[in-house]
Amino acid sequence: MSNELLTPELVGRLGRLDLVARLVVEGFLTGMHKSPYHGFSAEFAEYRQYIAGESVANIDWRVYAKSDRHYLKVFTEETNLRATLLMDCSASMDYTGAEGRPTKKQYASYLAAALSYLLLRQNDAVGLVTFDEAPLEMVPSRSMRRQLFQVLKVLDALPAGTGTDLGEVLHRVAERVQRRGLVLLFSDLMDDPAKIIAGLKHFRHRGHEVVVFQILDPREIALDFHGEVEFESLEQPGQKVRLEPAHMREGYQERFNIWRDELRRECRRQLVDLVEITTDTPFEKGLGAYLQKRRRMY
Query: What are the residue boundaries of the structural domains of the chain, listed by start?
Result: 8-31+79-297, 44-75
Predicted confidence at residue 51, as pLDDT, reads 64
Contact between residue 77 and residue 124 where contact means Cβ atoms under 8 Å apart: no
Contact between residue 211 and residue 184 where contact means Cβ atoms under 8 Å apart: yes
Predicted confidence at residue 198, as pLDDT, reads 97
Q: Write out the chain's pLDDT in tens, 298 residues.
A: 334 444 445 444 334 555 555 555 554 344 444 443 333 334 445 566 666 656 666 677 776 677 777 766 655 444 468 899 999 999 999 999 888 889 999 999 988 988 888 888 778 899 999 999 999 999 999 988 789 889 988 998 898 888 889 999 999 999 999 888 999 999 999 999 999 999 999 999 999 999 999 999 999 998 887 767 666 666 666 677 777 777 788 888 899 999 999 999 999 999 999 999 999 887 777 677 666 665 555 4
Which among 181, 211, 225, 224 has a CA at the least distance from the CA of 276? 211
d(CA 174, CA 81): 17
Predicted confidence at residue 119, as pLDDT, reads 84
Which among 214, 225, 145 has a CA at the least distance from the CA of 185? 214
CATH code: domain 8-31+79-297 is 3.40.50.410
Contact between residue 161 and residue 91 where contact means Cβ atoms under 8 Å apart: yes
Three-class DSSP labels, the chain: CCCCCCCHHHHHHHCCHHHHHHHHHCCCCCCCCCCCCCCCCCCEEEEEECCCCCCCCCECHHHHHHHCCCEEEEECCCCCCEEEEEEECCHHHHCCCCCCCCCHHHHHHHHHHHHHHHHHHCCCEEEEEEECCCEEEEEEEECCCCHHHHHHHHHCCCCCCCCCCHHHHHHHHHHHCCCCCEEEEEECCCCCHHHHHHHHHHHHHCCCEEEEEEEECHHHHHCCCCCCEEEECCCCCCCEEEECHHHHHHHHHHHHHHHHHHHHHHHHHCCCEEEEEECCCCHHHHHHHHHHHHHHHC
Q: How far are the Cα atoms of 62, 85, 170, 251 from residue 191, in angstroms, in the given order?
A: 56, 19, 12, 19
pTM over 0.85: no
Predicted confidence at residue 46, as pLDDT, reads 59
Position 52: which residue type?
A: A
Q: Are strands 125-131 and 82-88 parallel, antiparallel or unpaired?
A: parallel
Cα dihedral 222/226/232/235 (nearest 10): -20
d(CA 216, CA 195): 19
Contact between residue 64 and residue 105 where contact means Cβ atoms under 8 Å apart: no
Cα–chain-centroid distance for residue 279? Answer: 13
Q: Are strands 135-142 and 125-131 parallel, antiparallel or unpaired?
A: antiparallel
Helix pair angle (283-297, 104-121), 10° resolution = 50
